[in-house]
Amino acid sequence: MREELRLLRARAYGPEADIADDPVAVSRLRDLEELEREDRLPTAPRTPPAPPAGSSAAVASAQHDEEDEEDEEEIRRERPPLVHSKRRLWAWAVSLAVVAALASAATAMSVSFVPVTATAGAPQVDTLVPDPDSSAPAVFGERTGAERGYENYYGVAAFTGRAATDATDNRNPCLYLLDADEVDADDTRGFRGNFVYGGCGAGVFPATVQFVVADGMPAAFVQRFPVGTSVQFVFDGENVGVFSDRG
């Protein structure tokens, strides 16, 4: 309507005005101007009257409407809808969820696992093997048949056995280090000595005893491993490996 009104006004008021010779166009111009005035008032809009069939205004209006429809169709072709159906909508949403889950999983794998070094890298310096002439001291209580004694190691006596470490009947391998001069010194079930170290394993983890050498250890042991040395004894199920940070 606005384009039609503009064209009619150009014919009526422009430098090449010719509308005076076209009474149909003059009538149409008056109707459109009246509609424009009414549109400016706070009243319900009116539908513009259709121009008389066969008039130049009717032809111009029809051409204008056809052009508008062609423009709208072109816009629809150029801007297709993102989702054409409910099925595609759900597939699109699921694909986004899968991508988000994979990204979240990848992020979790990259930031939640922090590696921890399991060993200090101290070298093994000795190996203790079972001594058939040695037996577990009375302080360990009732024998189970799994006890083993090891050769005297610079005044330290090593013993292994299995002991219950929880409320169940499961028994785990354990390793004990005692002062060799004090083990069963008075043939009792008690123990007297300057130190006693012990540690038990669990499943695939071996029984391990580790400590820093301090005063009170046997003189021969301190001579081999000076005070302040870190030492570790590991039971592999048969023998006991000795590790030290000073070699």
pLDDT in tens, 97-152: 666 666 666 665 555 667 766 666 788 999 999 988 877 776 665 566 778 889 89
> How many Å apart are CA 207 and CA 201, to the nearest integer?
4
| Cross-sheet strand order for the sheet of 240-244 | 124-128, 240-244, 230-235, 208-212
Note the pLDDT of residue 242: 94
Quick: pLDDT tens for 13-50: 777 777 787 888 888 878 888 887 777 776 555 565 56
- Is residue 189 predicted with pLDDT exceeding 70? no
- The residue ranking higher by pLDDT, 153 or 135, is 153
pLDDT, average across residues 58-66: 60
Note the pLDDT of residue 156: 94
The pLDDT > 70 percentage for the chain reads: 61
| Cross-sheet strand order for the sheet of 196-200 | 148-149, 156-164, 171-179, 196-200
Contacts of 180 (CB under 8 A, 6+ apart): 152, 155, 156, 157, 218
Backbone angles phi, psi at 89, to 5 degrees: -60, -45
- Is residue 66 predicted with pLDDT exceeding 60? yes
Confidence band of 229 (pLDDT split at 50, 70, 90): very high
Of 65-69, 127-131, 169-173, least confident by mean pLDDT is 65-69
Note the pLDDT of residue 158: 93
* DSSP letter (8 states) at residue 159: E
Amino acid found at 169: D
- Is residue 72 predicted with pLDDT exceeding 80? no
> How many Å apart are CA 185 and CA 137, to the nearest integer?
10
> How many Å apart are CA 24 and CA 51, to the nearest integer?
9
- H helices, E strands: number in the chain: 5, 8
pLDDT, average across residues 151-160: 92
Q: Which helix (H) or strand (E) holds 9?
A: helix 2-13
The sign one gets for the Cα dihedral 137, 176, 129, 153 is negative
Amino acid found at 27: S
- The residue ranking higher by pLDDT, 126 or 77, is 126
Note the pLDDT of residue 7: 79
pLDDT, average across residues 58-82: 58
> How many Å apart are CA 174 and CA 82, to the nearest integer?
68
Confidence band of 82 (pLDDT split at 50, 70, 90): very low
Note the pLDDT of residue 181: 83
205-231 burial, b if ≥16 CB within 10 A, otherwise e? ebbbbeeebeeebbeebbebbeeebeb
* DSSP letter (8 states) at residue 205: B
> Residues 35, 48: contact at Cβ < 8 Å?
yes
